[in-house]
Amino acid sequence: MLELSISPDPPVIPPVPGIVVLGRFQPFHRGHAYMVTFAEKWRQDNFPELPLVIAIGSSNRPETLKNPWSHQERTQMIQRWIDSSDLVGEATIVPIPDIDDPPNWVSHAELYHGESGVFLSSDDDSLTLYQDAGWKVITIPMEDRSTFEGWRVRETVRMMSTIADERAVLEVLSPTIPKSVLGLMIENNYLKRLAFLGEGGEPVG
């Protein structure tokens, strides 16, 4: 089993508690946009004095079809969407490395996103971990969740990765990936690499 390095290191000064959402964002798709928008509205309605924190998991995973984009690239995707959206204002984006140790995940993640604030998610396992660690948790309802499963989005991107017709790529991928994010991915050739990773066809999350 590959031993994961802890990268990046946690910040020297621990972040203040905030309203936290967590995802791998491989890539940032419309389901994620809904999740972040829901969290931001909940923050504004309930704790406007607290910051919105978007935590990017798996920052230390090697490049595979399941994890094709680095945490720096995923940060760019999220920031591009925020900059093009009037639904979310400022947000702190933090990468968090995996440790493959669920019972200790929250205490590890707190070093990066801050101690007990409010955690919002549509993932039952994550909600349970944070609730057991003493966090207030809020369930984000997700309609048509199967459409926005990460592996489905990546498989569609992989099928389009060798097509040079930008309009065709936009037409096929826009229903699942925000156009601002797609523009960034096309500009930086983020789609093409999926054609060469040599995996696929598996529901890998």
The model's pLDDT over 29-74, given as tens digits with 9 standing for 90+, comes to 999 999 999 999 999 999 999 999 999 999 999 999 889 999 999 9
> Does residue 9 sit within a domain?
no
> Does residue 205 sit within a domain?
no
- Do 121 and 155 sit in the same domain of this protein? no
CA distances to 38, 87, 116, 118 from 17, in Å: 18, 22, 6, 8
- Do 82 and 96 sit in the same domain of this protein? yes
pLDDT higher for 149 or 7? 7
Structural domain including 168 reads: 145-196
SS3 category, 45: helix
Inter-residue contact 40 to 140 (CB < 8 Å): no
- Do 124 and 159 sit in the same domain of this protein? no
> Does residue 63 sit within a domain?
yes
For the cut 50, the answer to whether the pLDDT of residue 89 exceeds it is: yes
What is the domain-level CATH number for residue 105? 3.40.50.620
Q: Give me the amino acid identity at 115.
A: E
Q: How confident is the model at residue 164 (pLDDT cuts 50, 70, 90)?
A: confident
CB neighbour list of residue 108: distance below 8 Å, 6 or more residues apart: 96, 99, 101
- Do 122 and 161 sit in the same domain of this protein? no
- Do 150 and 106 sit in the same domain of this protein? no
Q: What proportion of the chain, given as a percentage, has pLDDT over 90? A: 68
For the cut 90, the answer to whether the pLDDT of residue 78 exceeds it is: yes
- Do 31 and 120 sit in the same domain of this protein? yes
Q: How far apart are CA 41 and CA 187, in angstroms?
A: 31
Show which of 139, 155, 171 is a domain's final residue: 139
Any idea which of 78-82, 135-139, 192-196 has the lowest mean pLDDT? 192-196
- Do 127 and 164 sit in the same domain of this protein? no
> Does residue 202 sit within a domain?
no
> Does residue 203 sit within a domain?
no
pLDDT value at position 47?
96
SS3 category, 155: helix
Count H helices and E strands in the chain, helices first. 7, 5
How many structural domains compose the chain?
A: 2
- Scan for tokens 């924190």, then name that residue: 53
> Does residue 181 sit within a domain?
yes
- Do 134 and 33 sit in the same domain of this protein? yes
- Do 81 and 153 sit in the same domain of this protein? no
Q: How far is CA 181 from the centre of its chain?
A: 13
Predicted confidence (pLDDT) per residue in 96-147, tens digit: 999 999 999 999 999 999 998 999 999 999 999 999 999 999 999 986 665 6
- Do 130 and 168 sit in the same domain of this protein? no
- Do 37 and 132 sit in the same domain of this protein? yes
Question: Pick from 147, 191, 139: which is nearest to 165 by CA?
Answer: 191
Q: How far apart are CA 144 and CA 203, in angstroms?
A: 17
pLDDT value at position 205?
39
pTM of the model: 0.90
Q: How confident is the model at residue 80 (pLDDT cuts 50, 70, 90)?
A: very high
- Do 115 and 72 sit in the same domain of this protein? yes
